[in-house]
Amino acid sequence: MRALVQRVSRARVSVAGRTTGEVGAGLMILVCAMQGDTEGEADKLAQKIVKLRIFKDAADKMNLSLADTGGAALVVSQFTLAADTSRGNRPGFSTAATPAEGERLYTYFSDRLRALGITVANGEFGADMDVELVNQGPVTIWLDTAA
């Protein structure tokens, strides 16, 4: 699985003008299931993100995790993280999981974050979404369980 994680002071996702998920301080997580991914990759990714020390401590050092800060996560599915641009200018997405498997793993991933004690808000799988966020830092980190 792939994720693009951004430390945010706030984030919101809406579909057709209707807010589907919103968080204050925490993380914006764009996530993509790849072909062959299983619950094991989703578990690994969720655990890594919850423990990722990218929040500032009292000494102004990135030393705290999402779990340490009590922050929330806005999780949005984004199959375009599977983009392959190696053969030209039009990206291909054939390495992404099928929509049914992608949705299953997206839901499973969100549930794993909740099981790890994180408050989670979500986008709407497969919808055309508008995402707004304030990237704090900025801090943006790419994670891939295959790497």
Tens of each residue's pLDDT in the chain, 147 residues: 999 999 999 999 999 999 999 999 999 999 999 999 999 999 999 999 999 999 999 999 999 999 999 999 999 999 999 999 999 999 999 999 999 999 999 999 999 999 999 999 999 999 999 999 999 999 999 999 997
Annotation marks residue 80 as catalytic: yes
Q: What is the DSSP letter of 135?
A: E
| Catalytic entry in 6, 20, 55, 78 | 78
Annotation marks residue 6 as catalytic: no
pLDDT at residue number 122: 97
pTM, two decimals, is: 0.95
Query: Residue 3 has which token pair?
Result: 């994720």
**CA 71/CA 76 separation, integer angstroms:** 16
Q: What is the DSSP letter of 70?
A: T
- H-helix or E-strand spanning residue 9: strand 2-15
| Catalytic entry in 6, 20, 55, 79 | 79
CATH class of 2-86+99-144: alpha beta
Annotation marks residue 79 as catalytic: yes
pLDDT at residue number 132: 98
pLDDT at residue number 147: 79
Strand-pairing partners, residue 19, are: 14
| Catalytic entry in 80, 93, 98, 140 | 80
Query: Residue for token digits 């984004």?
Result: 78
